[in-house]
Every structure is written in C-alpha cells, then in structure tokens.
Amino acid sequence: MKTRIIGLIMTFLSLATYAQQDAQYTQYMYNTVIVNPAYAGSRQSLSVFALHRAQWVGLEGAPVTNTLSINTPIDESNVGLGLSVVNDRIGPSTENNIAADFSYTIKTSEDYKLSFGLKASANLLNVDFTKLDHYPGDPIAEDNIDNKFSPNIGLGFYWHSSKSYIGLSAPNLIETKHFDKSAGSSADSHIATEKISYYLIGGYVFELSPSLKFKPSLLSKYVQGSPLQVDVSANFLFSEKFVAGLSYRWDAAISAMAGFQASDSWFIGYSYDFDTTALANYNSGSHEFFIRYELFKKYDQIVSPRFF
C-alpha cells in the first residue's frame, strides 16, 4: 500500500507540473537520433534500432518506454533520413510520438563533418484519471485526455569524425499545454505541459591497444523549470565484440552497461540502473534492453565497427 501511494503521488505531481517530457535513456549513445535529428544517416548504413526500458521496477505507475527507429543515408548524397516511434507510459498517461528526421552533412576538414538536422513530429497524449485515487463524484475522473494531438518541430547540429562527436539539439521547439477541460478553454492552469528540452552530447574514442578502445561520453539535458540533468558514461570495447561500462546520472542513478557485437549487422545491449535517491527504497532498479540491426552496402562493409 505504501508503494502504491507513493507511486500515485509521484504520478500526480509529475502530471501537474511537467509530466510529458522526452523519454529518458541510459544508453543514449546508441539512440542518438531520438534526441538529435542531425545524427540520421551518420553511420553510413541503414540502421534499425529497438529499445525497451522499464524504469523503477516494482513502483506502481513507473515509466515504461518502447522505442523503434530507422535511419539511413541516401545513396551517395549528403542527405540522411530517419523515422522513429516512441511509446512512453507513466501512471495514467500514455504518450505516442512519431517523428521524421532529415539531415544534411558537409565536410569541415579532412577528418570532420558537420551535420544539420530537422525533426517533424506528431504526438498523441492519453491520460486516464480514473486510474488515480479520487473521491466519488470528483470531476477530474470525467476530464480524461483522449488522443490529444500535438505537432512539433525540432533541430540539431552534429559535428563528428571517426573518433569523436559533439552535438546540440532541441527535438521539440513548440511548447504544448493541455488544459483542464472543466475549467474551459480560457483556463490559466494546465494538467500537462510539454516543455522545450535542450540536449548537449559529446564523446571521444581512445584506442588504448589494437584490441581495446575506451569511450567516455556525456549527455546534458536542460528543461526550463527542472534541474539540469547530466549523464556521464565510460565504455570499453574489447576485440571489436564486447562492450562494458558504467554511467552516472547526477544525483539520480548509477548504471552498469554491457553490449555484444554478434555480427557485422547485429548489436545487442543491456543496462541496469541503481537509484541513488530515496526512491531506491521503493523499487528494484531500472532495466533497459536494445537491439540494433545495420545493413551495409558491399563496398561500405566495415571491418571495425564505429563505437558510436
């Protein structure tokens, strides 16, 4: 019962303030196109990515995220295209986001390229308030949000070489407010808000030996009215096959990550988050699993897979 109460309180508070935000990922370094459209096509292959994240397992109403994306370069041009679908569930709310990405890449030097990206997305929000505890006759139970449609646009920049990258993006530039229907269209209060999120990402690959690579990486996320989120990770790639690493989300969680390059095309990964906050007393951690499939042209087949 205590866990149920805490879960419902958390859900209610998040919906009352800034619930509908971009989904959170631990293995963001493999899922970059979701937050930065300029990444589309940068791997020089058709890349299909699927991810499942169960956050705060054991806590009722905790977030569950499913992601499917595909991105590819277009022939020998400088253009990349992408398409992604994200299903995000938290408490009584379900959010589905469909996005299309466009990127254009130019060479800035012998080793570096700069990509510009645009994202166009459609969002469907459902909130079933009957799933929350409420008093009999409480009008909130009659004010569900049903398939609320919200279009959005985003942009990004991605500067990269074969060993390093840095990116800046805002995948959703339009703020959307969902108002309390019982208060009328002129209401000043709202029950869910989608705020602008700004992302800064970066990473560098150090070749420690012919069979060992080390890649530190960073993701920083800023949303107005919320604390700055900083994720710092360190991954090691052994013999171009096995990946192992740790990640730290500032004042939130410590994560362990593992991956396996099963073939040139298939890569699978898993991470486990352990909360460093008081929430650790009420859940058994967060699990994230992903699988990536890449299709290369024969003349583009790579001997050494890129580490990002």
| Per-residue pLDDT reduced to its tens digit, 285-300 | 999 999 999 997 644 5
> How does pLDDT run across 65-75, given as a tens digit for each residue?
999 999 999 98
Sign of the dihedral through C-alpha 176, 197, 130, 6: negative
Among 168-182, 250-264, 293-307, name the most confident range: 250-264
Please report which confidence band the pLDDT of residue 215 belongs to, taking 50, 70 and 90 as the band edges: very high
Query: Does 1 have pLDDT greater than 50?
Result: no
Q: What percent of the chain has pLDDT over 70?
A: 81
Task: Say if residues 89 and 48 touch (Cβ distance below 8 Å).
Answer: no
What does the pLDDT read at residue 17? 44
Quote the CA–CA distance of 183 and 291 in Å, as a whole number. Answer: 45
Summarize the confidence of residues 85-108 as an average pLDDT.
Answer: 95
Please state the φ and ψ torsions of residue 219, each to the nearest 5 degrees: -130, 125
Domain architecture of the chain: domains with CATH: 2-300 (2.40.160.40)
What does the pLDDT read at residue 13? 46
Angle at CA 14, nearest 5°, toward 275 and 10? 55
What does the pLDDT read at residue 135? 57
What does the pLDDT read at residue 140? 56
Query: Does 3 have pLDDT greater than 50?
Result: no
Query: Does 89 have pLDDT greater than 70?
Result: yes
Query: Does 227 have pLDDT greater than 60?
Result: yes
What does the pLDDT read at residue 195? 80
pTM of the model: 0.85
3-state SS assignment for residue 264: coil
Please give the residue that has the higher pLDDT: either 132 or 62: 62
**Selection from 35, 28, 88 nearest residue 63 by Cα:** 88
